[in-house]
Structure 1
Amino acid sequence: MKTIPTTRKIINDPVYGFITIDHPLILAVVSHPYYQRLRNIHQMAFAHLVYPGAMHSRLHHSLGAYHLMGIALNELKSKGIDISPEEELGAKLAILLHDCGHGPFSHALEKELIPGVHHEQLSLLIMEKLNEEFKGQLTTAIAIFTDQYPKKFLHQLVSGQLDVDRMDYLNRDSFFTGVAEGVIGYDRILKMLTVHEGQLMVEEKAIFSIEKFLISRRLMYWQVYLHKTVVSAEMTLVHALRRAQELIAGGIVVKAATDALDFFLQNRQASVNIKQHLDLFCRLDDHDVMASIKNWCNHQDPVLAALSRLIVNRQLLKIRFTPDPTAITTLDALRKETATQLGITEQEAAYFVFTGEARNTTYNPKDERIHILFKDGQVKDISAVDNALINYGSSLSYGEIKKQYVCYPGTLKITPQ
């Protein structure tokens, strides 16, 4: 069994001031190597290529979400909601570990390194492994995380349309990018939280704060998370790894900079038995990938080398958002010129000229809804309140936007229209 330290810790956080860790089990989990690896995984992947301040990590975010969870639970308890010390500890551990299953560059590489395994599945495997090490002390946390705990509002605080995860990442990402549109009234929203019939709700006085929260999230997605340069950089990284895997499959030697990353590149079936390789996965972080990309800048394969140099030198592919998919004839012309320019085949040119789709929805009523509790006991969805900013009617009412994009080398004479 792991030795549990008893020292109380106060962490200085630039967003909230001070974050207190005052339970020995939480301190032990935070001190564990599985958690500490989050220091080396960027919260916002390549957003720092556009917003240089966005260098904060998954560890920063998880500590911030933990802090907001503590405030939310205290607020609910002050309103007479029954939350036991064990449930409070469980909810704090669940949010603290909710992102521990993220791999290098988080969502950008989620489907590439460990295909078919979502980061939440990996988070659960890690939590189960920690539960074994700590002799069952994370059992309640796991039940809350997986929505198996009877008090559903505890899971809703961890994962829902109005969870403390989203509140922290909007607040934190706005702070570190300097994008003011992401600022939300998180303190007022937390003050207005309540529980009605076992479900997490918000008092009617917070309607405008909730609408501002939803709009801020929409703006942050299109201004930051799905910024065209960020999309270009992340997709170039994806294509570099795909090229490395293609070369390996063809018998060409491609070595990663670390044993951990090399194992997953060379063994594409490892994801089938990822539980057996959990320790190795937990040795992966952004450094493994970037060190490999730097090495591959001089690889004998011109495609892998060129893709790697684009990332390292920040000489990224041009990207254009379009309302409609790019015509096949245009793609063929772009790939033909790219092949000539780089001295590669047109098939290989597809690594430099490709299309995709970016999408975001401001509020999806098919997901867990945001319920407003009125003084007279009525409960309404946020989209059904009087004069709602987000209302029923069509997909556009919920801010659903899809944008097609095409990436291509900026040195081409031909450009997509």
Structure 2
Amino acid sequence: MGQINKLKILNDPIYGFITIPDTLIYDLVQHPYFQRLRRISQMGLSYLVYPGAHHTRFHHALGCMHMMQKAIETIRFKGTVISKEEEIALCTAILLHDIGHGPFSHAMEHSIVENISHESISMLFMDKLNAEFDGKLTLAIQIFRGFYHRKFMLELISSQLDMDRMDYLKRDSFYTGVAEGNVNSDRLIQMMIVVDDKLAIEEKGIYSVEKFLMARRLMYWQAYLHKTSLAAELILTKALKRAKELIHKGVEIDCSAPLKFFMEHKIEAADFNDEVLELFSRLDDTDIISALKAWQYHSDFVLSSLSRMIINRDLPKIKFGEEKFSKEEMESYIRDFSARNGITAHESGYFVFKGRIRNQAYDKEAAPIRIYKKDKSIEDVVEASDHLNLKALSKPVTKYYICFPKVLVEN
């Protein structure tokens, strides 16, 4: 029997050919934990707004790895030494940075498990894989956790201008058709340089950085925080919450075994032993969709109605405002919906609720995007730019919303 060729080439609709650079990377891609990402939607329920947005975390992770390879090539060309071991570690860390995402990515981050982020779950998966691969991921994990002495390496993985953001903006823009989100990642990478162990952008690349920040702001309003996908994701979390409530009351709820485990138990960071991690690795979008398909026929009015809203894309109305919506307005909607359907105010609270969203393209409090000027000085992009809009982009914009069934405003 012949040996498997592990140095594969994949065809990507964004970048063309992506090369798997090492046999370790190939084995990680082939691992069931990573293959699960094929069944995790990159943009949650955004396909209910943008029908093309069916791409997955698997796509995105491979794209990030490709960006990392190009960034390493550029940085080396400009005189910074990166060893082969460091190169493989960087590619491994960025490949696995999202491996801890649960079903529908961010949509359900705190619905299935509580008080633990997908980044923390990613670290747990990386530790498990490291044990399985005889310590070959140790350097990748050190970089990912910020323990490695060469700090610019973490900035390539997690910063305000990292490979993650560079890929998801370009990829999500492509699959949604929101052209405003498209960024010139090639130009940005070509302008990268390491100065005093910090990642910076050469001064002539400043306009590409400005475009990147503007694209990020527009993608948040037009795609990630689009009111319809926001409403869908909120209803999805409400359906999960209702199912959990019914299970704890002893009501029979039909769903897959891994999903049932997380519905029956409150799982927080301290509860993540090997057994729980293994169960989590068996969860993906299909568990949720198959559950919703079953729940739409459940005898509970709340659970069946919420499930049908998503399955049939019959979503509630969502109103945005600059100020918080009043408690009186919300209570009025709740009373009206309770009376129409013969349900309690508590049950109506699954259909009528309010909250807020926040958009900040650039965080002045976080590590800055550094511009390396011709005189060899370093300046924050906001100070270096002659574009007044960048100062505005660094201010958080908060919008308030109220969600309620459309029937309450239809004649």
> What is the TM-score of this pair, normalised by structure 2?
0.97
Question: Does the 8 Å CA contact 2:317/2:405 hold for their aligned counterparts?
Answer: yes
Distance 1:386 1:331 in 2: 44
Distance 2:408 2:41 in 1: 32
Q: Compared with structure 1, are the counterparts of its residues 397 and 287 closer, same or farther at alpha carbon in structure 2 (3 Å cutoff)?
A: closer
In the alignment, is residue 406 of structure 1 matched against residue 402 of structure 2?
A: yes
Aligned position for 1:357: 356
Distance 1:220 1:361 in 2: 11
Q: Compared with structure 1, are the counterparts of its residues 190 and 270 closer, same or farther at alpha carbon in structure 2 (3 Å cutoff)?
A: closer
Aligned position for 1:327: 326
Aligned position for 1:223: 222
CA shift at 1:87, angstroms?
0.2
Aligned position for 1:137: 136
Question: Does the 8 Å CA contact 1:5/1:24 hold for their aligned counterparts?
Answer: no
CA displacement 1:88-115 (0-9 Å, x = unmatched):
0000000000000000011111111110
CA shift at 1:6, angstroms?
4.6
Which stretch has the larger CA shift, 279-288 or 261-270?
261-270
CA shift at 1:269, angstroms?
3.8
Aligned position for 1:15: 14
Task: Kindly provide the amino acid, as one letter, of the partner of residue 266 in structure 1.
Answer: E
Question: Does the 8 Å CA contact 1:12/1:19 hold for their aligned counterparts?
Answer: yes
CA shift at 1:272, angstroms?
3.2
Task: Kindly provide the amino acid, as one letter, of the partner of residue 273 in structure 1.
Answer: D
Q: Compared with structure 1, are the counterparts of its residues 190 and 385 closer, same or farther at alpha carbon in structure 2 (3 Å cutoff)?
A: same
Which stretch has the larger CA shift, 333-342 or 262-271?
262-271
Q: For 2:263, which of 262, 265, 282 is the aligned residue? A: 265
> What is the TM-score of this pair, normalised by structure 1?
0.95
Aligned position for 2:302: 303
The correspondence of residues 237-248 of structure 1 with structure 2, limited to 5 A, is: 237-248=236-247
Percent identity (aligned) = 46
CA displacement 1:320-348 (0-9 Å, x = unmatched):
11111111111111011111222211221
Question: Does the 8 Å CA contact 1:69/1:91 hold for their aligned counterparts?
Answer: yes
Aligned position for 1:97: 96
The correspondence of residues 13-92 of structure 1 with structure 2, limited to 5 A, is: 13-92=12-91
Distance 1:295 1:131 in 2: 38
Distance 1:215 1:72 in 2: 22
Aligned position for 2:124: 125
Distance 2:378 2:290 in 1: 53
Task: Kindly provide the amino acid, as one letter, of the partner of residue 272 in structure 2.
Answer: I
Q: Which runs of 5+ in 1 are unaligned?
A: none
CA shift at 1:251, angstroms?
2.1
Question: Does the 8 Å CA contact 1:382/1:390 hold for their aligned counterparts?
Answer: no
Question: Does the 8 Å CA contact 1:5/1:27 hold for their aligned counterparts?
Answer: no
Aligned position for 1:159: 158
Question: Does the 8 Å CA contact 1:203/1:372 hold for their aligned counterparts?
Answer: yes
Superposed CA RMSD in Å reads 1.4
Q: Compared with structure 1, are the counterparts of its residues 298 and 397 closer, same or farther at alpha carbon in structure 2 (3 Å cutoff)?
A: closer
Question: Does the 8 Å CA contact 2:210/2:390 hold for their aligned counterparts?
Answer: no
CA shift at 1:413, angstroms?
3.6
Distance 1:132 1:382 in 2: 41
Q: Compared with structure 1, are the counterparts of its residues 414 and 329 closer, same or farther at alpha carbon in structure 2 (3 Å cutoff)?
A: farther
SS at match of 1:268: coil
Q: Which runs of 5+ in 2 are unaligned?
A: none
Q: Which runs of 4+ in 1 moved over 6 A?
A: none
CA displacement 1:51-98 (0-9 Å, x = unmatched):
000000000000000000000000001111010000000000000000
Distance 1:342 1:157 in 2: 53
Q: Compared with structure 1, are the counterparts of its residues 245 and 377 closer, same or farther at alpha carbon in structure 2 (3 Å cutoff)?
A: same
CA shift at 1:397, angstroms?
5.2
Distance 2:49 2:399 in 1: 20
Aligned position for 1:201: 200
Question: Does the 8 Å CA contact 1:319/1:407 hold for their aligned counterparts?
Answer: yes
